[in-house]
């Protein structure tokens, strides 16, 4: 399965966060699309509407496990999806910004 390191992500890359609502509320990457893995199949259309045409989808969760499962599902649907290794824990440790819905600094829960 294709995997990318947080350090390889660029500003403007399309990030899909598949963590649950409470995790998202505590803190997330600004600009990410949030569809919890538990709702993913039902809300799949939200991704296809928001994702760039012919663009790559970078899938992230807390540590990389759930995002790996969603990445495999997306690949089966013909979407160019890549799992972000280490997830939001590595994102935060790398000094990338973590925000709440209000834009205030957040934490990875």
| Residue 76 belongs to some domain of the structure | yes
39: containing domain: 3-93
* Low-confidence residues in the chain, pLDDT < 50: none
- Give per-residue pLDDT as tens, 86-105: 999 999 999 999 999 999 99
CATH of the domain at 27: 3.40.250.10
- What is the number of structural domains in the chain? 1
| Residue 15 belongs to some domain of the structure | yes
| Residue 10 belongs to some domain of the structure | yes
Read off the pTM.
0.97
Instruction: Report CA-CA distances (Å) from 6 to 19, 27, 44, 96.
Output: 17, 16, 24, 9
């Amino acid at each position: 399965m294709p995997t990318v390191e947080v350090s390889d992500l660029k500003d403007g890359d399309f990030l899909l966060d598949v963590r649950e609502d409470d995790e998202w509320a505590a803190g997330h990457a600004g600009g990410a699309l949030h569809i919890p893995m538990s709702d993913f199949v039902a809300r799949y259309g939200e991704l296809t509407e928001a994702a760039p045409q012919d663009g790559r989808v970078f899938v992230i969760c807390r540590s990389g496990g759930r995002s790996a499962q969603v990445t495999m599902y997306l690949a089966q649907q013909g979407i160019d999806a890549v799992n972000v290794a280490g997830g939001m824990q590595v994102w935060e440790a790398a000094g990338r910004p973590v925000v709440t819905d209000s834009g205030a600094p957040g934490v990875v829960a």
